Amino acid sequence: MRPLLEIISKGVGLSIQDGGRAGWRRFGVPVGGAMDRHSMAVANGLLGNREDAPVLELCRQGAKVLILQDTWLALAGADLGCALKPWRASHVRAGTLLDFSGRQAGLFAYLALPGGIQADQWFGSASADPRNGLGVVLEKGVRLLANQRAVSFSDDRIAGRIAIPDERRVFEGLVQLPLFRGPQFAAFSEVAQNTLVESEWTVSERSDRTGFRLEGRELEVPASIASEPVLPGSFQVTGSGQPIVTMVDGPTVGGYAKLAILPEAARDRLAQCVPGTQISFRWLD
Amino acid sequence: MDFHLQSYGERAVFIQKLSGRRQSCVLNALKVSPPHGFVEYVVGYSNVLVILDGVLSAKRFPEWLSAIPEVNQADLLPTRLLEIPVKYSGADLAAVAKMAQLSIDEVVAIHSGADYRVRMMGFAPGFPYLDGLDSRLHFERRASPRNHIVPGSVAIGGRHAGIYSVASPGGWHILGHSEHPLFQPEMAKGAAPDENAVFALAPGDRVKFVAIN
């Protein structure tokens, strides 16, 4: 089979991601996968793929991808300034260079190939987690194939396919996210519980696929706890009084008290907040 | 049985405040007859986190839990014992000896003389939190964590012993080094790899350290 695309430039971040790996957290293996699962699922859905099929996840700017065959592609998530429009399937000619040259809105874009990217699995997932030696490392010159065995559609079904308005996301404007109470909510002072939802928080530059740091008013920190499992989306408050929101590549257990946890859809939204974004929160219930 | 339950996000439930015996009962039931919509579990120090496939499964979970059978410890899976050779030459060995007001040889004898049990695993793949550390070696983590600790570093932190399984930052005191691989990512290829080929240890296993030169 002939490859469908070639990596010309990695840019800030370019990796294969999918729905993540289930069943291995008890050994310390993070769930991993796409940072914004909603956008991954929409990109795959536009091509008739499984919603968790392997896609290319592109972060911020600088990635360049050369298309080697005429093909349908779908893009969803952040608008990174590529000529290909997000939230729709597009037919692309061989020789086209997709240049994700500039960030417009959002942090992570998802490029789906017909049938999904063909890639080896580690623990049942093709997701890249280089810190733990899982997944292929994409470098300049790497060529990727579409998983044509999985193709379950005909081209005429894709033609002109656009995500419905409910599925589209706009990563601009004020961000207010809902929160569930975390396992150690009651260990925090009432002042800390209220400060989290009454003040504004700024996404720190020191944020990555393991965690998003938030900067704002200092929260009073309760005693650390015996280490226990941590889910992505959890607000762990460290000694500095500032929350770190665990993300999908983050540690599976931790010893900091957890004040809150984002619903999964809100975690997808946080993942699209560029450093400097102002966020506020509200308690659910 | 009555359990202390706590919801965590939309589709996970903590079973808190578990004794070792009750934790074993829960883990046994999860393996033998998992609840509706079961995805996976994670073992904590004195709890178990159960992750389900959605809100409805999470709502139904307490009913499943209330009906799990009591199991005798003796009926549970046999525990394995792994002997791990350690070269005691770690960067913090002298500092730990000083804090403990012991000689280096005494620290080595105490650390390698204990019988450990894997209480839980995480934060990184294959990292074991080991119970059984002698109380003379219980110390708070280092005030400033190291940015890079090499895999195989045998360390202590708080009331636990551990072994760094992947290169990572960390704040535990490093006593020595082991060549025994704890996590082999190349063995994790495929859809359903053999856990015994990927990981040297699992929760519940026993560990002894053997001093080598």
CA atoms within 13 A on the CB side of A47: 33
Identify all chain B residues contacting A262, using CB atoms and an 8 Å cutoff: 9
A232 with A191, same domain?
yes
ipTM higher than threshold 0.85:
yes
Same-domain check for residues A80 and A103:
yes
Q: A132 and A13 in one domain?
A: yes
Question: Among A112, A134, A167, which residue terminates a domain?
Answer: A167
| Pairwise CB contact (< 8 Å): A121 & B190 | yes
Rounded Cα distance between B166 and B149, Å, is 8
How many cross-chain Cβ pairs, A to B, lie less than 8 Å apart?
Answer: 118
Structure token pair of residue A99: 């240049």
Query: H/E element holding B175?
Result: strand B173-177
Structure tokens belonging to residue B185: 């990512």
What would the pLDDT profile of A264-273 be if each residue is shown by its tens digit?
A: 999 999 999 9
CA distance B93 to chain A (A): 24
3-state secondary structure (DSSP) of residue B173? strand
Q: Where is B129: in which H helix or E strand?
A: strand B128-131
Interface touch B122/A252, C-beta < 8 Å: yes
Q: What is the mean pLDDT of chain B?
A: 94
Q: For residue B20, what pLDDT is reported?
A: 85
pLDDT band at residue A226 using 50, 70 and 90 as cut-offs:
confident
- What strands, in cross-sheet order, belong to the sheet with A88-92? A13-17, A55-59, A105-112, A71-79, A88-92
Nearest Cα neighbor of A228 from B122, B187, B19 is B122
**Whole-number pLDDT of residue A53:** 97
One-letter amino acid of B105: D
CATH class of B81-212: mainly beta
Cβ–Cβ < 8 Å for A262, A177:
yes
Q: Which residue of B has its CA nearest to A258?
A: B8
Closest by Cβ to B124, choosing from A23, A227, A251: A251
CATH number at residue A245: 2.40.100.10
Q: Do A125 and A184 lie in a common domain?
A: no
Count of residues for chain B?
213
Burial label for A94, CB within 10 Å (0-12, 13-18, 19+), is exposed
- A35 and A163 both lie in a single domain: yes
For chain A, the residue count is 285
Chain B contact probe: residue of A228, A230, A240, A284 with most B CBs at under 10 A? A228
The CATH-assigned architecture of domain B4-75 is 2-Layer Sandwich (3.30)
B44 with A229: CB under 8 angstroms?
Answer: yes
State which of A167, A189, A212 marks the end of a domain: A167
- CB A206 within 8 Å of CB A219: no
Residue A161 sits in the same domain as residue A52? yes
Q: What is the pLDDT of residues A184-203, one digit of tens each?
A: 999 999 999 999 999 999 99
**Contact residues, chain A, for B164 at CB < 8 Å:** none
Name every chain B residue with its beta carbon within 8 A of the beta carbon of A226: 44-46
pLDDT tens sequence across B41-89: 999 989 999 999 999 999 999 999 999 988 766 556 668 999 999 999 9
Whether residue A108 is found in the same domain as residue A230: no
What is the reported pLDDT for A174? 86
Q: Are residues A200 and A119 in the same domain?
A: no
CA distance linking residue B106 with residue A51, whole number of Å = 57
Residues A205 and A149 in one domain: no
Q: Which residues of A123-148 are buried (b: 16+ CB within 10 A; e: fewer)?
A: bbbbbbbeebbbbbebeeeeebbbbe
Q: Are residues A154 and A252 in the same domain?
A: no
Under the banding of pLDDT at 50, 70 and 90, the label for residue A172 is: confident
Residue % of chain A over a pLDDT of 70: 95
Q: Do A124 and B192 touch (CB under 8 A)?
A: yes
pLDDT at B21: 86
Domain check: are A133 and A185 in the same one? no
- The residues on B that touch A, with CB distances below 8 Å, are 6-10, 12, 14, 39-47, 49, 51, 120-127, 129, 165-168, 183, 185-186, 188-193, 195, 198-199, 202-203
A12-16, A155-159, B25-29: the lowest-pLDDT one: A155-159
| b (16+ CB within 10 A) / e for A28-58 | bbbbbbbbbbbbbbbbbbbbbbbebbbbbbb
Backbone angles phi, psi at A8, to 5 degrees: -95, -40
- Comparing CB atoms, the residue among A29, A228, A251 nearest residue B45 is A228
Q: A117 is in which domain, residue-wise?
A: 5-167
Distance of CA B213 to the CA centre of its chain: 27
Å from B102 to nearest chain A CA?
A: 27
| Alpha carbon distances (Å) from A85 to A55, A100, A109, A273 | 16, 11, 11, 20
- Average of per-residue pLDDT across A67-96: 95
Instruction: Please report the DSSP string for chain A in residue order.
Output: ---SEEEEE-TTEEEEE-S---S-GGGT------SSHHHHHHHHHHTT--TTS-EEEEESS-EEEEE-S-EEEEEEEEE-S-SSPTTEEEEE-TTPEEEE-S--EEEEEEEE-TT-EE---BTTB---BGGGTBSPPP-TT-EEEE-GGG----HHHHTT-B--GGG-----S-EEEEEEEPTTGGGS-HHHHHHHHHS-EEE-SS--SSEEEEESSPPPP----S-EE--TTEEEE-TTS-EEEE-TTS-SEE-S-EEEE--HHHHHHHHT--TT-EEEEEE--
Judge whether residue B104 has pLDDT over 80: yes
Q: One-letter amino acid identity for B118?
A: V
Domain count, chain A: 2
> Which residues of chain B form CATH 3.30.1360.40?
4-75
